[in-house]
Structure 1
């Protein structure tokens, strides 16, 4: 991986003073802050009931990088509830980069340990396009971190719950269907899960619809041999979505916009946990932390190559980045 050293020096500068008020505007409190080992820099994460903000820069100086996210969307990971230490973290995203900032302390398990000075620790982990880029450690005596309440309680009060399987937050407004949308099927003794044909729809546009049904959406453009098969297709470009037509019927759709929902309510921007709650289970062959999910259309007569396939891609922020339907019969 090519390292952008200038970018790393920029974020590395944000990890600073141990004072809780460092970098936090009036009305906000510090989730954590510290100075970075071996660098004259500091970092702080501050929050109120609406927004969380990441700042870094030279110790005692102005921030060189500042990132903010609303509390309902911020990627906060609470303490798992076990181990010798208590720790939590928040991740902020900026293009291809992700900045995971955390703080914690060792738990005392005896009266003797309670009399000793508490060991504090903190870190910043930076990734680029999901790949590890830089690890920075805090100077222990500069770490401020207060466990309890904080971002966790604000998210819960906003109607969210933590899903420890997908490591994401789930809105209480998203409730599972009485029965799973993913249905069990089998072919030659292999059990799989499929998706009803009615779910292969985005904003009321359904796979297999004739071109005549799309008249109000606009006119398609001819795309010559897009995938090397020697066939031309018609493609309709919409806001945040495209529709591919072959032989006057829709055979593929793709969206990167939350405006285009599936009938179940599944849409771009949902967390992995929310997707799993809507589907009712994790598709076979995947885990609750997979970077994508795939499911085939249900058929009355199971076949080795189902007609339609759904692909859900998740971004590095653990939210749906793209929903894609395609007909394998094309």
Structure 2
């Protein structure tokens, strides 16, 4: 069932957003914000995950971490929306990128919430119709790196 949803989502959204991701990378989330003036992209390339935000020609912020170190909250498998979130850290700031796909309305959504310490300082939603998703890509990459999700403890650990 998970593969069906992932395939359907990719087919629905494949032409809706231009990604800053390299051609050989896997897109986790790609969309525009602010009426198309900025791009938000999360891409996996090998064992690295990269978050980019800003103008397409020169992103304002690029953060890269390893798949193993990335904080990731996978979809628990219930509800009308398939969703996940990943958090990138940069000093006192954290960037929680989220994405979802509503199974009934067949609408993809995403964005980023920025925190300084534990205080929300910004929240940017993807422009409607611009979202390209690769749901489960982070979870699949974490499993390939030898990590397993513990739903009770809500953490990734070694298998």
Same fold? TM cut 0.5:
yes
Q: Which has the higher strand share?
A: 2
Q: How large is the RMSD of aligned CA atoms in angstroms?
A: 2.0
Quote the offset at 1:147 in angstroms: 2.6
Question: SS of 1:81's equivalent?
Answer: coil
Partner residue in 1 for 2:17: 19
CA contact (8 A) 1:123 1:138 kept: yes
Structure 2 Cα separation of the partners of residues 89 and 157 of structure 1: 18
1:56 corresponds, among 25, 29, 53, to 53
1:163 corresponds, among 142, 146, 150, to 150
Structure 2 Cα separation of the partners of residues 33 and 39 of structure 1: 12
Question: SS of 2:129's equivalent?
Answer: helix
Quote the offset at 1:73 in angstroms: 0.8
CA contact (8 A) 2:17 2:32 kept: no
The number of residue pairs the alignment matches comes to: 145
Partner residue in 2 for 1:31: 28
Structure 1 segment 201-212 matched on structure 2, within 5 A = none
Question: SS of 2:58's equivalent?
Answer: coil
Partner residue in 2 for 1:101: 97
Partner residue in 2 for 1:328: none
2:73 corresponds, among 51, 74, 77, to 77
TM-score (norm 1): 0.41
1:145 corresponds, among 133, 136, 141, to 133
Structure 1 Cα separation of the partners of residues 113 and 42 of structure 2: 14
Which runs of no fewer than 5 residues in structure 2 stay unpaired? 1-14
TM-score (norm 2): 0.82
Quote the offset at 1:37 in angstroms: 4.1
CA contact (8 A) 1:47 1:53 kept: yes
1:88 corresponds, among 84, 88, 98, to 84
Partner residue in 2 for 1:8: none
Which runs of no fewer than 5 residues in structure 1 stay unpaired? 1-16, 173-330
Structure 1 consecutive aligned stretches of length 4 or more whose deviation exceeds 6 Å: none
Query: Whose RCO is larger (CA < 8 A, sep 6+)?
Result: 2
Structure 1 Cα separation of the partners of residues 118 and 59 of structure 2: 25
